[in-house]
Amino acid sequence: MTLVVANQKGGVGKTTTSINLAAALAQKGLRTLIIDLDPQGNATISFVDQQQVELSVYDLLVRPEVTAEQVIQPGAVENLDVLGARISLAKAEAKLIGEFDSHFRLKDKLQPVLDRYDYIVIDTPPTLGILTVNALVAGTHLLVPIQSSYFALEGTDDLLETYEKIKARPNPDLQFLGVVITIDDKRTVLARDIRRQIHEVFGDKVFRTTICKSVRLEESPAYKQSIFTFAPNSSGALEYYSLSEEVIGRV
Ligand SMILES: Nc1ncnc2c1ncn2[C@@H]1O[C@H](COP(=O)(O)OP(=O)(O)OP(=O)(O)O)[C@@H](O)[C@H]1O
Ligand SMILES: [Mg+2]
């Protein structure tokens, strides 16, 4: 299973969801790989010391001779490996543009290591560019975090259009796994309205688990940890655990 966490809207909880979902799966004893396709590298620094990332996903995508084995590192958590990003990844789009196989680079490079993992989780940048397309071509399932805030659904049409295009040609096996509502503020009327809108648009694709707004979840990246080590008894830990159960149930 290769789960692509994507939404081209920025700051909706893609990275937080990728990190904590991957950590929850690993904690269950499932062999998990997290791939960081965001040049900001936030998912990477949660599990490895970025200084140690000599070869990164940039090298994997751009240099034909670099293999996934060379780039993957064990993460700070048991059962979790990391394919890390550095800021150099920001140059990848420019390097790949015009290459005839630019959309297939990640898929091709992952092929030899697929059977090592039960789950691969890919965090993507807030664009629908070559990196996100590489993730969707390599993926088996798309998971879309949507923040229950104003303009929540803005841009989801473009995302779904990209999903349909990729499903039509390069990756017919890609499935829409679901939508997770994130950074939800249960107290506000606005958030309740947006939740209702999201349910109207996505119906039973919306996960029952909602990730609430939480200071613990906001703080955990600063401490370079997943929520399960940073605040194992917090509501965020329970919610991401419950999301991981739903994900396993759906795939
Ligand atoms: N449930 C939550 N409660 C409170 N803060 C959160 C929650 N989830 C994420 N955040 C915070 O919101 C910000 C955006 O989250 P995150 O980085 O996961 O989003 P993103 O979609 O990956 O952003 P980008 O598009 O820039 O990659 C971060 O500061 C993060 O710590
Ligand atoms: Mg991010």
* pLDDT for residue 119: 98
Average pLDDT value for the chain: 96
Tokens 């893609």, residue? 14
Residue 50 has pLDDT above 90, yes or no: no
Mean pLDDT of 224-234: 96
CA separation for the pair 64, 169 (Å, rounded)? 24
Ligand 1 pocket test, candidate residues 218, 227, 241, most atoms within 8 A of CB: 218
Tokens 């707004």, residue? 213
Q: Is the CB of 38 under 6 A from ligand 1?
A: yes
* pLDDT for residue 88: 93
* pLDDT for residue 147: 96
Give the Å distance between the CA of 195 and the centre of ligand 2: 22
Helix, strand or coil, per DSSP, at residue 161:
helix
Residue 219 has pLDDT above 90, yes or no: yes
> Could you tell me the pTM of the whole model?
0.98
For the chain, give the number of residues. Answer: 251
* pLDDT for residue 226: 96
Tokens at 172, concatenated: 């017919």
Q: Is the CB of 186 under 6 A from ligand 1?
A: no
Helix, strand or coil, per DSSP, at residue 168:
helix
Q: Is the CB of 178 under 6 A from ligand 1?
A: no
- Of 46, 17, 11, residue with least CA distance to 211: 17
Supply angle C-alpha 251, 28, 183, rounded to 5: 70
Give the Å distance between the CA of 118 and the centre of ligand 2: 23
DSSP class of residue 47 equals H
Q: In which band, very low, low, confident or very high, does the pLDDT at 235 lie, cut at 50, 70 and 90? A: very high
Q: Is the CB of 101 under 6 A from ligand 1?
A: no
Q: Is the CB of 11 under 6 A from ligand 1?
A: yes
- At residue 98, what are phi and psi to the nearest 5 degrees? 90, -15
Cβ atoms 135, 47 nearer than 8 A: no
Helix, strand or coil, per DSSP, at residue 42:
helix
Write out pLDDT tens, residues 57-87: 999 999 999 999 999 999 999 999 999 999 9
Residues 6+ apart with CB under 8 A from 40: 15, 85, 87, 125
Helix, strand or coil, per DSSP, at residue 217:
helix
* pLDDT for residue 52: 87
CA separation for the pair 148, 251 (Å, rounded)? 25
Mean pLDDT of 147-164: 93
Q: Is the CB of 182 under 6 A from ligand 1?
A: yes
Which is more confident, 166 or 151?
A: 166
* pLDDT for residue 43: 95
How is 10-27 classified by DSSP, letter by letter?
A: TTSSHHHHHHHHHHHHHH
Q: Is the CB of 15 under 6 A from ligand 1?
A: yes
Mean pLDDT of 104-131: 98
* pLDDT for residue 127: 95
Which residue's alpha carbon is at the smallest distance from atom 15 of ligand 1? 13
* pLDDT for residue 150: 85
Mean pLDDT of 158-166: 97
* pLDDT for residue 124: 98
Percent residues over pLDDT 90 in the chain: 94
Q: In which band, very low, low, confident or very high, does the pLDDT at 37 lie, cut at 50, 70 and 90? A: very high
Write out pLDDT tens, residues 188-200: 999 999 999 999 9
Give the Å distance between the CA of 246 and the centre of ligand 2: 22
Give the Å distance between the CA of 78 and the centre of ligand 2: 23
